[in-house]
Amino acid sequence: MGRWEPNAYGRLQLAALELFDERGFERTTVEDIATRAGLTKRTFFRHFSDKREVLFGTGDEFKAVFVDSLTAVPPGVAPIDAVAVSLEAAGAMLQERRPFARRRQQVIAANAELQERELIKLASIATALTETLRERGVEEPAASLTAEAGIAVFRIAFERWVAAPDDEQRELPEFIREALQALRVVTA
Amino acid sequence: MGRWEPNAYGRLQLAALELFDERGFERTTVEDIATRAGLTKRTFFRHFSDKREVLFGTGDEFKAVFVDSLTAVPPGVAPIDAVAVSLEAAGAMLQERRPFARRRQQVIAANAELQERELIKLASIATALTETLRERGVEEPAASLTAEAGIAVFRIAFERWVAAPDDEQRELPEFIREALQALRVVTA
């Protein structure tokens, strides 16, 4: 057992983002990350199974925020409004991590393989939302369309939020509401 | 130069789909495909650079159908209606190749890596449609939302079309119109 390191998780995450940014994702090793954080590889592997996990998380916690918040919406709420609640809940979670989310996005934008991983992750969230809508009694193709349109709204709102200037006052849930409203306008 | 083989492209494509279906994409080699088609590896490589190309095509012809048909829509048509024209044009092209499209879909559905490749290809089409809409003067986030929603409509319509029974009378463009109408209803 290694000794306890204060905030090892956060230090490793920050060190990884710095290095991915400086020399690229491919050319950064786990050893580099641990060294930059002043920690050992062993400590790294207590927190992450590989360097990609620093960016994409360990499991499906992010997906769970979407699904759990959709499940919690009272029955009878229109599907698109129920999905909006779910998107805003996930958005509120990311809002609290804005500096991390922005740096992470810069790393992903610079690497095609990571962009594909992000795309696949979002597709998997859309599938989970589709299933949850079906369980709420929404029929096809409405369930798939609502979930897929919702994830498109989320992704576009997210991109606009991370690209906004540092003094941006609007929070991610507001960007999500705006994008959903814009979707309503373009499809009207 | 090898001798000319009648319909080598189609024979190789059919042989590949049969083998992918029988033994899986991973366990099928280019040699297997050529042998099944009664052709040589050399002939295979005159038509495809690798076995994945049998499923995903050589270049961006499919994307070009979307982009060119969107570009050809007269200015002044609402963005979502212009995108609908583009989706239906791509749908009409696939309709002519329904037996191939259905078998191809079965192979892709059985392989996570191929599903990811398909997802990435569709995302790239959405990006191209977004750029084309911007060139038509559509502002953000409307351009992105229209393109992304359009591709969601296309994908969901496509899935329903390939899953339809053999005696299905409706053609893919009709599934696309239905899905777009369903999107309008869910976002209304």
The answer on pLDDT for A2 being more than 70 is no
Task: Give residue A169's pLDDT.
Answer: 87
The answer on pLDDT for B80 being more than 50 is yes
Summarize the confidence of residues A41-64 as an average pLDDT: 87
- Domains recognised in chain A with CATH numbers: 8-52 (1.10.10.60), 59-187 (1.10.357.10)
Angle CA A75–A78–A80, to nearest 5: 125
Q: How confident is the model at residue A58 (pLDDT cuts 50, 70, 90)?
A: low
Secondary structure, 3-state, chain B = CCCCCCCHHHHHHHHHHHHHHHHCCCCCCHHHHHHHCCCCHHHHHHHCCCCHHHHHCCCCHHHHHHHHHHHCCCCCCCHHHHHHHHHHHHHHHHHCCHHHHHHHHHHHHCCHHHHHHHHHHHHHHHHHHHHHHHHCCCCCCHHHHHHHHHHHHHHHHHHHHHHCCCCCCCCHHHHHHHHHHHHHHHHC
- The CA distance from B44 to the nearest CA of chain A, in Å, is 29
Write out pLDDT tens, residues B123-165.
999 999 999 999 999 999 999 999 999 999 999 999 999 999 9
Counting one residue from A and one from B, how many pairs have CB atoms under 8 Å apart?
A: 82
Mean pLDDT of the residues in chain A: 92
- List the single residue in B with minimal CA-CA distance to A149: B149
Q: Would you state the structure tokens that stand for residue B16, as one six-digit string?
A: 């590949």
Smallest CA-to-CA distance from A144 within B127, B154, B165 is with B154
Quick check: A174 contacting B, CB < 8 Å?
no
Optimal mutation site among A122, A144, A186, interface B, most CBs of chain B within 10 A: A186
Smallest CA-to-CA distance from B86 within B38, B24, B151, B141 is with B151
The answer on pLDDT for B2 being more than 60 is no
Task: Give residue B76's pLDDT.
Answer: 92
Interface predicted TM-score (ipTM): 0.87
The answer on pLDDT for B181 being more than 80 is yes
Summarize the confidence of residues B172-176 as an average pLDDT: 97
Task: Give residue B58's pLDDT.
Answer: 59
